[in-house]
């Protein structure tokens, strides 16, 4: 294991922000982690565990040791007539893992195709798309405490999953290195095509018989048409969460905005479409210098080339304030600000 100093993090974050790390290293094995925890650079500095860098905004140089999770490996740990339990190392690219499951006809993750990032970060954020979240197929994860080196297995209940939330974003933030995640996938898949434009895209594709492969391709087509490729335009996907409001608030909004986009929740509240709120606030395609709101998807903030992290953060503040002024609704950033 090599620990380097003053390394640019531009290649390691999908916004393409040119901030530097005081120290930088990558881990490729459990032995690497044990070695890392004993190093002087690690013991004497703060630390930041980095996966795909797809859910972060760097607003300053990182005065810490940045640890890139490069753990690899996918194995079937057990199975029965209906399910298969697949363990995926934390450093595996998420989309590549989803494609591996689809090739094996293991159902449950197809709606989460083409989401950027690594598998180890997926439970931290409880990533979700098109009516499906990680928690729907999550079985357990293995992690190493970032100070003591203790190895721990977390069950679904211990992860405390919520909407884009988990215990790793709060109580255990920066306290564990997630080494693997195990999913319980189905040999007899249940198809989820009700959310978004999946049905319409399947019609365009002339799909007569549903399959997880067809659903995955539909999701890939939709995401590719709406979301910018981080390799071409810096971004971190959806920058804002869809806000949840009480039914009374939704009904009042509906009086003034009859076309408001919202989804009823089991608790009686409504989830509003943040992208719709931003677009109706006149901010779709809005740009200040190289920091902008994407012209096709208002949920996405982009770096057109030379924007700093602070410029993108200031733009996000402008979005929050503008939506609040128009709708009286508070948006919340989904991306981690560093």
Give catalytic residues, as residue numbers.
Answer: 164, 238, 334
Measured distance CA(35)–CA(7) in Å, rounded: 20
Closest CA to 116 of 58, 54, 169: 54
Give the 3-state secondary structure of residue 170. coil
Measured distance CA(321)–CA(314) in Å, rounded: 11
Q: Tell me the backbone φ, ψ of residue 119, rounded to 5 degrees.
A: -60, -35
Partnered with residue 336 across adjacent β-strands are 56
Partnered with residue 333 across adjacent β-strands are 240
Three state DSSP letters for 120-135: HHHHHHCCEECCEEHH
CB-CB contact of 17 with 309 (8 Å): yes
CB-CB contact of 177 with 70 (8 Å): no
> In what helix (H) or strand (E) does residue 292 lie, and over which residues does it extend?
strand 291-293
Measured distance CA(214)–CA(105) in Å, rounded: 11
């Amino acid at each position: 294991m090599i620990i380097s100093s003053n390394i640019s993090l531009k290649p390691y974050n999908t916004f393409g922000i040119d901030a530097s790390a005081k120290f930088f290293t990558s881990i490729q094995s459990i032995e690497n982690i044990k070695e890392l925890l004993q190093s002087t650079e690690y013991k004497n500095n703060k630390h930041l565990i980095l996966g795909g860098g797809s859910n972060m905004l760097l607003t300053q140089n990182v005065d810490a040791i940045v640890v890139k999770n490069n753990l690899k490996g996918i194995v079937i740990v057990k199975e029965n007539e209906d399910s298969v339990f697949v363990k995926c190392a934390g450093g595996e690219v998420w989309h590549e893992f989803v494609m591996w499951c689809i090739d094996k006809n293991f159902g449950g993750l197809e709606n989460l195709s083409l989401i950027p990032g690594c598998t180890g970060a997926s439970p931290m954020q409880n990533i979700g798309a098109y009516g499906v979240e990680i928690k729907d197929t999550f079985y357990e994860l293995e992690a190493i405490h970032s100070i003591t080196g203790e190895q721990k297995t977390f069950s679904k209940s211990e992860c405390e999953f919520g909407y884009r939330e988990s215990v790793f974003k709060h109580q255990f933030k920066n306290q564990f290195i997630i080494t693997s995640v195990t999913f319980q996938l189905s040999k007899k898949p249940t198809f989820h095509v009700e959310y978004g434009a999946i049905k319409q895209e399947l019609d365009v594709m002339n799909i007569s018989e549903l399959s997880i492969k067809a659903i995955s391709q539909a999701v890939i087509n939709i995401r590719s048409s709406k979301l910018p490729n981080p390799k071409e335009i810096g971004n971190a996907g959806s920058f804002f969460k869809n806000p949840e409001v009480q039914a009374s608030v939704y009904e009042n909004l509906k009086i003034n905005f009859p076309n408001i986009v919202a989804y009823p929740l089991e608790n009686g509240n409504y989830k509003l479409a943040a992208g719709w709120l931003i677009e109706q606030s006149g901010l779709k395609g809005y740009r200040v210098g190289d920091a902008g709101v994407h012209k096709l998807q208002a949920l996405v903030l982009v770096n057109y080339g030379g924007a700093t992290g602070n410029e993108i953060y200031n733009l996000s503040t402008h979005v929050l304030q503008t939506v609040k002024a128009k709708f009286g609704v508070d948006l919340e950033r989904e991306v981690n600000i560093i």
